[in-house]
Structure 1
Amino acid sequence: MFRVKKALNHNTIIAINMADNREYLLIGKGIGFGKKVSERMETPKGCTMYSLREHTERGTAMELVKDMDPVFLEIAEQVLKESERIFGRIDWSILFPMADHIAFAVRRIQNNEQISNPLTSDIRALFHMEYKTAECIRPILRERLDVEIDEHEVGYIALHIHSAIEEENVALSMQIAQTVRECIQMVEEATGQTIDVMSLSYNRLMNHVRYMAARAVKGEKLKLNMNDYMSTKFPEAYELAAQVCKHLETYLRKPLDESEIGYLAMHIERVAAQEE
């Protein structure tokens, strides 16, 4: 049983769960229509509940909801429902920071302040399925707000989706994308070759650096050490891999397991051999 605290619009209300006396955001078609403050109601069929005790980088969920047009909460929920359909189980607490981001993105677009993200292509490659899923927001915004968003904004939504399916916040996902870009640039500069971004070797290298960064953040270690073999067989690739790992440690401020060098060297050697 819920007690209505405030109806935000026809589809969104803030209500108090009388079982635990906590505030929740309820989203569902028509659930707010005609609702009055303090009115009691059963849990509406088909609605989704979100705890307003969640904390975000910009404050509590309650603070965000108070200052936000509820349409952005509904739009974020539509994106997350599509994400759940694609990926299965997701962390629904990302609803509030995602809605907050969408609200700012729409405001920027309406003020002709659209941004450029130099990492968009990297985000699209690193988080391919998340990016494809994030594109569902294009027709939603077009239909509901008559707003067109570009690939850069889609990229940011993709990072929020990634945050909902992995234990990475948006800032960390962005940092990993930046790190991958810089590490691949180091490989290109050292080999004097421009790596074909469409090649399988590039994709493997990019994803290896991505997961290497993720392992560093989580403190995980590889089970097999290939350092002796790679340093003897491919010394130049091994030396470059050592430099990249050092850069990655500095950037992430996290130590890497020493065995990461040999595995990275293997991927660097594959790319160099393919580009020759």
Structure 2
Amino acid sequence: MHILRVFNTNVVLARDADGGEVVLTGRGLGFQARPGQEVDPTKVIRVFRPEDGRNADNFGEMLAALAPELVHLVDRVLAPVWAELRREPSSTTVLALADHLSFAIKRIERGMDAVYPLRAEVAHLYPRELHWAENVVAAVNDELELDLPADEAIPIAMHLVNAAFDSGNLALTYRMTGVFSQVFEVIEGAFSQPLDRDSVNVARFITHLRYFFVRVHSEEQVQDHPTSFLDAIATAYPDAHRCARRVADILELRLGQPITEDEISYLTLHVARLTQAASIRKPEK
């Protein structure tokens, strides 16, 4: 690999053997280095490959502005997350979390409190990611001898939700969370009884909604089943189907796209499973 740009003594931009631009970190990697020189592989600790079309120069500048020990700590703490997701580490997520934590640390040092109103939604919708995020906060507090509040896990969890679905857009993830909360309000209102947010069926429904959201964002909604199949579902679960149509109306308004009949049928099946398992009474017509 050859150096393209030196950001500081520990961070450089380089071109790899495949011709792509990568950001490299390592103690002394950029010391007295010049563009065009060969990278010393013995000094390279981590190779970051900017994803989602991110500009490599901007990525390197952001990385160079962060404390190396914080970046390495985030990278290490997220290793179990990537293992559970069965995917390669995301350079973008590592940078985003390290950047967030760097700002959070400065905020705490200045006595500034942050308010995260989505704790209930995140706990109900993303328990796995919240657990991971709490581990990140605990590790940062332990290793850097800090006292970050427990609520810092909320935005970190949102970053991890974003990473799990490769959306590359954190704003989209926050929007998705708001839509999910409204969907549950519609279902609970239709059947006049709260759902058990800790149940397996609710977890399955959340997973379905998350993939549905990705499909809509990618303009790849399901629309393969014959009309007879869709009619059979509507006939078998009339109450759930009416509720699913209300949910679809909300989704269309929030997402700005029409929902296919196939997607409504899948929503019907999930609503039916939720309501039957919870023994919720039928809604008033």
For normalisation by structure 1, the TM-score amounts to: 0.79
Please state how far the C-alpha of 1:228 moved relative to its aligned partner.
1.3
- 2:159 aligns with 160
2: distance between equivalents of 1:41 and 1:263? 53
Deviates more, 1:251-260 or 1:206-215: 206-215
- 1:212 aligns with 212
Candidates 84, 87, 100, aligned match of 1:86: 84
2: distance between equivalents of 1:20 and 1:263? 43
* Segments of 4+ moved more than 4 angstroms: 1-4, 15-24, 51-57
Could you say what secondary structure the match of 2:195 adopts? coil
Please state how far the C-alpha of 1:74 moved relative to its aligned partner.
2.6
Amino acid at match of 2:119: T
2: distance between equivalents of 1:155 and 1:258? 35
Contact 2:162 2:173 in 1 (8 A): yes
Instruction: Give CA deviations for 1:182-218 in whole Å, capped at 9, x if unaligned.
Output: 1001111121101121223322333333332222222
2: distance between equivalents of 1:76 and 1:271? 37
Structure 1, gaps ≥5 residues long: none
Amino acid at match of 2:196: D
2: distance between equivalents of 1:224 and 1:96? 42
- 2:132 aligns with 133
1: distance between equivalents of 2:38 and 2:269? 64
- 1:102 aligns with 101
Could you say what secondary structure the match of 1:255 adopts? coil
- 1:175 aligns with 175
Q: Percent identity?
A: 23
* Cα distance change on mapping 1:72 and 1:56 into 2, 3 Å: farther
Instruction: Give CA deviations for 1:130-180 in whole Å, capped at 9, x if unaligned.
Output: 333333322431234322334432232233233334321322222222211
Could you say what secondary structure the match of 1:32 adopts? coil
* Cα distance change on mapping 1:134 and 1:100 into 2, 3 Å: same
Deviates more, 1:117-126 or 1:246-255: 117-126
2: distance between equivalents of 1:253 and 1:32? 50
Please state how far the C-alpha of 1:48 moved relative to its aligned partner.
1.1
Contact 1:120 1:155 in 2 (8 A): yes
Contact 2:190 2:243 in 1 (8 A): yes
2: distance between equivalents of 1:117 and 1:163? 17
2: distance between equivalents of 1:163 and 1:139? 21
Matches within 5 A, 1:244-259: 244-259=247-262
CA RMSD of aligned residues (A): 3.4
Contact 2:123 2:130 in 1 (8 A): yes
Could you say what secondary structure the match of 1:49 adopts? strand
- 1:62 aligns with 60
1: distance between equivalents of 2:74 and 2:199? 34
Could you say what secondary structure the match of 2:222 adopts? coil
Matches within 5 A, 1:141-156: 141-156=140-155
2: distance between equivalents of 1:156 and 1:53? 21
Please state how far the C-alpha of 1:243 moved relative to its aligned partner.
1.2
1: distance between equivalents of 2:95 and 2:118? 24
Amino acid at match of 1:241: A
* Cα distance change on mapping 1:202 and 1:164 into 2, 3 Å: closer
Is 1:236 aligned to 2:239, yes or no?
yes
2: distance between equivalents of 1:128 and 1:240? 26
* Cα distance change on mapping 1:266 and 1:85 into 2, 3 Å: closer
* Cα distance change on mapping 1:252 and 1:18 into 2, 3 Å: closer
Amino acid at match of 1:134: A
Deviates more, 1:96-105 or 1:85-94: 85-94
Contact 1:56 1:97 in 2 (8 A): no
* Cα distance change on mapping 1:16 and 1:154 into 2, 3 Å: same
Please state how far the C-alpha of 1:222 moved relative to its aligned partner.
4.8
Amino acid at match of 2:6: K
Amino acid at match of 2:60: M
2: distance between equivalents of 1:6 and 1:214? 36
Could you say what secondary structure the match of 1:25 adopts? strand
Instruction: Give CA deviations for 1:38-79 in whole Å, capped at 9, x if unaligned.
Output: 48652126621225798669x921342354444443333223
